[in-house]
Every structure is written in C-alpha cells, then in structure tokens.
Structure 1
Amino acid sequence: MTTQQFTVPGVSCQHCVNAITSEVSGLAGVQSVKVDLGSKQVRVEADGRTSTDAIVHAINEAGYDEVTVLN
C-alpha cells in the first residue's frame, strides 16, 4: 500500500470533494481518497497498480487542472 498526496488549489466545496473522490476512486487499486478542504490536499492510498500520472489525470478529469504532486 502506498500513500500519495497532492495539492489542488481549486478545491473549495463539498462538490469538489465529491467530484475528485468519484474520479480517483474509479482507478484500479485505489483503496481510499481523502480530500481536505482546509489544506486543499488530496490523499490517496492505493496498491502498486495506481500510478501518480493516473491519479493526476483523474483529478484533471474531475475539472481541476492545477495539481501539484507532494510525494
């Protein structure tokens, strides 16, 4: 299991949380997605099948183009 964190500056409401959670949760291997509105960070726990690029792409698909990988 790996944990990856991202900053998504455009996250501002529960709709944002739901959109990102829905897109990222659909990726193979994702176990959990946590979006923190206060810090504007997304934390993803996944097995080895889920690449960082795939997670960033899923966040982009949810409507958030600016994503910074923290680890």
Structure 2
Amino acid sequence: MLAPETAWLDRGDGICRNLDLATARCRIYDRRPDVCNVRAMYEQRYRKQMAWPVFVVLNQVACDELRKLRPEVLVR
C-alpha cells in the first residue's frame, strides 16, 4: 500500500512516475519533493520520534523490501 504522501507520484502500477526505468534513477532528483528526501522527511516528521541512525536503518529495510517486490525495477 502506498503512503498518502507518495500516492500522487505513483504512475498507476506502484512505480514512481519520475523513475527512469533504463537507469533506475530519479529524473527529478535535484528538485525532488521533500517526501522523496530522506533527510528532509526526518527533520520535518520523524525527528521527535526516533534518532537519525534508526530512521536510516528503517529506510534501508524498506528499500530492501521494495527491491524484493520489484527486482526488475530497483536494480541498484
């Protein structure tokens, strides 16, 4: 299930509309929204709930799980 914060980025199949499938990189990385910026999201929403190292580990776990679900897309 997509988070409400990122649902508008979904191209309809669970893949971000800004993902370049040929390179597996974000096409708007330099101007990505805060919801796509781990540091910005931590500072804005999670700083009071957990320490930065914990947040980083949780994000890595989430990325690993996404790679398992869609290995053909998230190859890097």
TM-score (norm 2): 0.29
Higher relative contact order (CA 8 A, sep 6+): 1
Structure with higher strand content: 1
TM-score (norm 1): 0.30
